[in-house]
Amino acid sequence: MTNEFMVTYNDIEEASRIIGQVAKKTPLEHSNTFSRISGNNVYLKLENLQTTGSFKIRGAYNRIYHLDQNQRKNGVVASSAGNHAQGVAYASTLMGVESTIFMPVFTPPSKIVATKNYGAKVVLSGESYDEAFKSAIEYAEKNNKTFIHPFNDPYVIAGQGTIGIEIYEQLKDVDAVVVPIGGGGLISGIAIALKHLKKDVKIIGVEAEGAQSMKLSVERNQIVPLVNLNTIADGIAVKIPGPLTFELVKIYVDKLVTVTDEEISRAMYLLLTRGKIVAEPAGAVSLAAVLFNKIGLKNKNVVALISGGNVDYGLLGQVLEKGLIEEKMMTKVILIIPDKPGSLKKILTYLSEKQVNVHDIFVERTSKDIPAGMARIILWVRTLGNESIREIDDYLTKENIAHRIEE
């Protein structure tokens, strides 16, 4: 590479050879369901099935591979709240290089444990990624270690670009590829590769609405730092694009769009229930853009990159429950019944007979709006859909039970 702005297709080809024995060639799967919903011929590039659970191993391994012997001896440093940490840790261990990863103190324990298990020393520092990043830079400089940037690095970009080669090999007549954007390293590499292989392919980048630093920067033609980040997609919540990725996105990317957290959550739910695919929020933004008509295409061969599957299980549970509520498969029933034995049993027996499963029960007796001798019962129930909910409503009305069903 002649300078920091010259990431070429040859660099990506070289990276493909380097990571060939380490990174998986992940599947590209067609989805009839998502094709029908979106009006496009939709394929999913499943980087959630990649080693370490995301695409990050590609760039991390390529970057560390290119260190000289002295740099390898001194070790590497990175900052990350998740996927980059695991990629650097695993790649370093494979090459016998010591790694130290700085992570924010709020990082989910599962990600901390995973990073340690891949062989890294983990340092918790700061309440945000930016604070962890600052600590990592200071530590690297003080200890003469090499900092492995998560996106603003030509070798990292070239490594991520190997996905573009794979997509072309798997689907020669691809019309558009939809890619999540955090710092921009992933989309930069993919765009360089695919524009070389198929000049008319459209590259569409997707950011979370609450973290659209790249989109705003491109629109204003200058890097625009965000003051606040507000999204469930923590894997792409980046305040400042890199100067290298900013320039590459301006050159190679055709369109930038955003999706809301509600749309991301819905895409995660559909991936799990319809596709049997676990995706983290950042990994689902591409499909969200396709399903919610953000890409402006119809009847095209569209690839949505599912960039990672390292989801926090607490969040995944919330996404599932929210999706069930939206599909009328779960609902809340609020009852006011006599506070005496047998009152609730009669209702629960009816629900059981109708194949309705009670998910949660809450009992209130002391609120001012509850009459003496009565109790408020809040039931979260799993139903069979709208017809089941109507039957419950009709039964409670017939039995003169004061109630409200919240859908």
pLDDT, position 184: 96
Among 215-219, 335-339, 382-386, whose mean pLDDT is lowest?
382-386
- Rounded to the nearest integer, the mean pLDDT of the chain is 94
| Residue closest to 59 by CA, chosen among 73, 40, 78 | 78
By CB atoms closer than 10 A (0-12, 13-18, 19+), residue 6 is: exposed
Q: State which fold the 328-406 domain adopts.
A: Alpha-Beta Plaits (3.30.70)
Percentage of the chain surpassing pLDDT 90?
84
Please state, in angstroms and rounded to a whole number, the distance separating the CA atoms of residues 176 and 288: 15
Neighbouring-strand partners of residue 257: 206
Domains 9-55+153-322 and 57-147 share a fold: yes
The amino acid at 377 = I
pLDDT, position 126: 87
**pTM here?**
0.90
CATH architecture designation of domain 9-55+153-322: 3-Layer(aba) Sandwich (3.40)
Query: pLDDT tens digit string along 111-163?
Result: 899 999 999 999 999 887 778 899 999 999 999 999 999 999 999 999 999 99
Query: pLDDT tens digit string along 37-83?
Result: 999 999 999 999 999 999 999 999 999 999 999 999 999 999 987 89
Instruction: Catalogue the active-site residues.
Output: 56, 307
**In the 8-state DSSP scheme, what is residue 239?**
S
Per DSSP (E only), the strands in 145-229 are: 146-147, 176-180, 202-208
Among 127-136, 205-214, 252-261, whose mean pLDDT is lowest?
127-136
Domain ranges of the chain: 9-55+153-322, 57-147, 328-406
By CB atoms closer than 10 A (0-12, 13-18, 19+), residue 334 is: middle
- 3 pLDDT above the threshold of 50: no
Classify 57-147 by CATH class.
Answer: alpha beta
Please state, in angstroms and rounded to a whole number, the distance separating the CA atoms of residues 328 and 359: 14
pLDDT, position 216: 96
Beta 41-46 vs 301-306: how paired, if at all? Answer: parallel
Q: Which two tokens stand for residue 21?
A: 């024995």
- 87 pLDDT above the threshold of 50: yes
What's the average model confidence in pLDDT over 370-374?
92
